[in-house]
Amino acid sequence: MIRKLASLALLSLTLAGCGPTEPQTTGGPAVTRRLTESQYRSVIADVFGPQIVVAGRFDPLLRTDGLLTIGAGSATVGAAAFERFHALARSIAAQVTDTTNRDVLVGCGPQDLRTADDSCATEFYSRIGRLLFRRPLTTDEVRDQVKLAREATAVRGDFYTGLAYGLQTLLEAPDFLFVVERANGKQLDDYAKATRLSLLLWNTSPDDVLLQAAEGGKLKTEDGLKQEVDRMIASPRFKDGVRAFFTDMLSLDDTTNLQKDTTLFPAFTLTAANDGKEQTLRTLVDLLVTRNVDYRDIFTTRETHISNALGLIYRVGVNDPSGWSRFDFPSDDPRAGIQSQVGFVALHSHPGKSSPTLRGKAIRELLLCQRVPDPPGNVNFDKFNDPDSPLRTARERLAAHANDPACAGCHKLTDPIGLALENFDGLGQIRDNENGAALDLSGDLDGVKYANGAELAKALHDNPAAASCVVNRAFTYAAGRQTVSDEKAFVVYLEKTFADSGYKFPSLIRRIALSDAFYAVSGQGAGQSPAAAKAGTTEDKS
């Protein structure tokens, strides 16, 4: 911790001293975004404690401009989704007010439990409502819930049962389910600032300290803001924020629906799928936060953490089969970089076999922020299907694609990358042949030739798109929307300072959190977000 604070202090000096200065921006529109599943869960755990069970399915968000977070800016709540939020709210409210939790979480109550207690209800809704709505409740808002609690207490004959109805109302109100951004002139207001900060750094809503800072106007001052940002980055909760960002950037939530043929891949289990995602997140947090190394090392690292379920797939021993163990692949191992881990190679494969095309597409789109067009509708597979020349390896089969001009354009973008990972089968287990034929792992990435996956890892590390991709994603993730043209110079500035910092990820996030650009709102009026709907589902053009 001391070392971390020292390095942060050093970082502050660097920021304050030389180096490029932040270009002026007028900012983009404010965004109203729906809470993501992980944010919802974090908030409930933070406000009420981890013992409250959030049992329910959440409606998927639409990935937009590469991020679910941006999709959240256009998401609404359909009938089925609202039915589920309603059920969740009811279950959470019942748990908070039950005999196990009420003493701690409510903390007050009437002498006679059969009667209403307006002052206790007022205190409770004001305190909890502020944390749920990320701002103090208005008098009317509190009054409405107190009234409902009073009526419900009369019907149900129990104060706490009655209290639950008002809490349920708060939990299904749009003020909770949607993060709305109000502005003060050309800057977000202090509560919106606090919320953006908290979602970015901790993937949850502001804690009491941050809300107090917002209330006291501290976030308006450079020192006050810095104090809060540094407090939050120094906290272990910062890792939650980093995990949420990379879960979104790398589409790791798709692991939930990952399916493999268990006859072909007996080592595939639900645990293995979840552990694959967890391994990648642990690798990233360890490298980027705990050890604060060069971001680009994620493409070449052989240092990771594994569980027994993953040891079965990697076929390596695990020091602690009952949990997670640090594990390093040897320096000549073909396994290098997060793109060689189960969480990536198994995710971007078919249920029964690997897919160089899916893997190549994922590397282009997720790690380099490049757009791979969708396949054309008029594909002719006749050459490919010639029964007289059976094609044994994926390379041979895809070569048939690449010779067809209609297919070649896109497959040339994806396949050479994916083919370098063909020594990992559909589950990510190592292999040295496919259907008995030797594997050729060579190819080139944007002109850099490589002989195998480990060399591809190096090529990714050195590809300028890799660093600019994470900068772009980090800023759009933070803002909850695609960049506007006015922000281009700011993004270039972020890329430059990211490089100058030695590609240190926390430094990038800190710079965003302290920038003026992050809080600037274009002059389209307080809380308006006209571009959110316009953004649609357009993908990056590059």
Partner 1 sequence: MSRSNILKLGAALALVSAAFAGPALAASGAKSPRTLGYVVTQWDYATYESPFADECPEGLAVGNDEYWWRGLSRADKDKLTNTGLIQPIDRRGTAVLRGPQGEDVCWKPEIVKDPPMRTVKGKLAFGFNLDGTTDGKATPKSCAHEKFTGVDNTPGVDNQVYRLLGCLYGWRRNGVMDAYDDEERRNSGRGVILMEITNVDDARNDDAVDITFYRAIDPFSLDATGKILPYGSYRIDMANGKPRYGATAKGKIVNGVLTTTPIDLSLPYYANSIFAEMRLRDMQFRLELPQGEGKAKGLMGGYYDFDKWWEYMMKAEFLVATGDWSCPAMWEAAHRLADGYPDKDGKCTALSTAFKVEALPAFIVHQDRTAAAR
Partner 2 sequence: MSFLIKRPAARREILRGLLGGAAVALPLPYLEIFLNTHGTALASGAPLPVRFGTWFWSMGHTPGYAVDPNTDQLTFLKECEALTPYKSRINYFGYFNSPLDGHPNHVHQSGWITVRTGTAPPKPADILAPTLDVLVSDHIGGSTRFRSLDMGCTGNPKDSLTARSTHVRNPSEVSPIALYARVFGPGFADPNSAEFKPDPDLMLQKSVLSGVEEQRKRFEKVLGAADKARMDEFATSVRELEHQLALQSEKPAPADACRIAAKPDDMPMGTELPVAQANHEALTKILTLAVACNQTRVFNMSFNDTLSSIRKPGTAYTHHTLTHEEPVDKNLGYQPEAFWFNCRSMDALAAFIKAFESVREGAGTLLDNTLIFAHAETSFAKIHQIDNIPMFTIGTAGGKLKTGRHIAGHGDPVTRVGLTALQAMGLPLEKWGQGSLQTAKPIGEILV
Dihedrals φ, ψ of 34, to 5°? -80, 140
Contact 36, 204 (CB under 8 A): no
Question: In the complex, what is the shortest distance from the CB of residue 378 to partner 1, in angstroms, rounded to a whole number?
Answer: 40
Binding to partner 2 by residue 264, rule CB under 8 A? yes
Q: Show the tokens assigned to 371.
A: 């757009």
- Out of partner 2, partner 1, none, which partner does residue 23 contact, by CB within 5 to 8 A per kind? none
Q: Three-state SS for 450?
A: strand
Question: In the complex, what is the shortest distance from the CB of residue 394 to partner 1, in angstroms, rounded to a whole number?
Answer: 19
Closer CB to partner 2, residue 151 or residue 240? 151
Among 67, 70, 92, 152, binds partner 2 (CB under 8 A): 152
CB atoms within 10 A of CB 78: 10
Question: In the complex, what is the shortest distance from the CB of residue 14 to partner 1, in angstroms, rounded to a whole number?
Answer: 32
Question: In the complex, what is the shortest distance from the CB of residue 318 to partner 1, in angstroms, rounded to a whole number?
Answer: 4
Options 47-55, 95-103, 301-309, 377-385: segment touching partner 2 (CB under 8 A): 377-385
CA distances from 459 to 249, 443, 449, 478 (A): 20, 11, 8, 28
Question: In the complex, what is the shortest distance from the CB of residue 324 to partner 1, in angstroms, rounded to a whole number?
Answer: 12
Q: Three-state SS for 317?
A: coil
- Out of partner 1, partner 2, none, which partner does residue 267 contact, by CB within 5 to 8 A per kind? partner 1
Question: In the complex, what is the shortest distance from the CB of residue 421 to partner 1, in angstroms, rounded to a whole number?
Answer: 16
Which DSSP letter does residue 35 get? Answer: P
Closer CB to partner 1, residue 101 or residue 308? 308
Question: In the complex, what is the shortest distance from the CB of residue 178 to partner 2, in angstroms, rounded to a whole number?
Answer: 7
- Residue 480: which of 25, 39, 22, 79 has the closest Cα? 39
Q: Show the tokens assigned to 458.
A: 């190096």
Question: In the complex, what is the shortest distance from the CB of residue 18 to partner 2, in angstroms, rounded to a whole number?
Answer: 41
Among 41, 156, 218, 458, binds partner 2 (CB under 8 A): 156
Residues 392-431 that bind partner 1 (CB under 8 A): 429-431
Closer CB to partner 1, residue 209 or residue 451? 451
Binding to partner 2 by residue 538, rule CB under 8 A? yes
Q: Residue for token digits 């809503």?
A: 205
Q: Pattern 310-329, binding to partner 1, x per CB under 8 A? A: -xx-xxxxxxxxx--xxxxx
Binding to partner 1 by residue 270, rule CB under 8 A? yes
Binding to partner 2 by residue 28, rule CB under 8 A? no
Helices then strands, each counted (H, E), the chain: 24, 10
Closer CB to partner 2, residue 144 or residue 294? 144
Q: Three-state SS for 303?
A: strand
- Residue 203: which of 64, 12, 45, 368 has the closest Cα? 45
For residue 221, count CB atoms less than 10 angstroms from its CB and return exposed for 0-12, middle for 13-18, buried for 19 or more: exposed
Among 19, 20, 49, 375, binds partner 2 (CB under 8 A): 375
Which DSSP letter does residue 480 get? Answer: T
Options 4-12, 58-66, 485-493, 496-504: segment touching partner 2 (CB under 8 A): 58-66
Helix axes 222-234 and 208-215, enclosed angle (nearest 10): 180
CA distances from 322 to 141, 194, 275, 286, 318 (A): 49, 39, 13, 20, 9
Which DSSP letter does residue 276 get? Answer: H
Among 15, 82, 234, 484, binds partner 2 (CB under 8 A): 82
* Interacting residue ranges for partner 1, rule: CB under 8 A: 262, 266-270, 308-309, 311-312, 314-322, 325-330, 332-333, 429-433
